[in-house]
């Protein structure tokens, strides 16, 4: 199942959409990307695919992996120290 959902956030869902992150970021005029995730995602192939898609579109990215499920406001404050 593939679909686009815009309200105004745009959700792109379906097989192969992970590789489109760089294309979408480029379309939005991004120059850099911050990938916000949990420690558990650092070892997953999906994170590598996302970063590679961004690189393929000449976008630098940084990973912030100190987010916990249902993150408290402190997680936002932690980002300032990266």
Q: Is 59 left (phi over 0), alpha (psi -120 to 50) or beta?
A: beta
Q: Tell me what the pLDDT averaged over the chain comes to.
A: 87
Distances (CA, A) of 81 to 40, 66, 76: 21, 11, 10
**pLDDT-based confidence at residue 33 (cuts at 50, 70, 90):** very high
The residue written with tokens 């192939």 in the block is 45
Please, what's the b/e burial string for 6-45 (b: 16 or more CB within 10 A of its CB; e: otherwise)?
eeeeeeeeeeeebeebbeebbeeeeeebeebbeeeeeeee
Mean pLDDT of 50-71: 91
Report pTM.
Answer: 0.73
């Amino acid at each position: 199942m593939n679909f686009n959902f815009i309200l105004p956030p745009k959700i792109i869902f379906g097989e192969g959409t992970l590789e489109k992150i760089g294309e979408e970021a480029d379309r939005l005029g991004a120059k850099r990307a911050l990938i916000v995730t949990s420690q558990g995602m650092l070892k997953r192939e999906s994170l590598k695919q996302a970063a590679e898609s961004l690189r393929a579109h000449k976008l630098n990215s940084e990973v912030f992996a100190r987010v916990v499920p249902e993150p408290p406001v402190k997680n936002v404050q932690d980002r300032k120290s990266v």
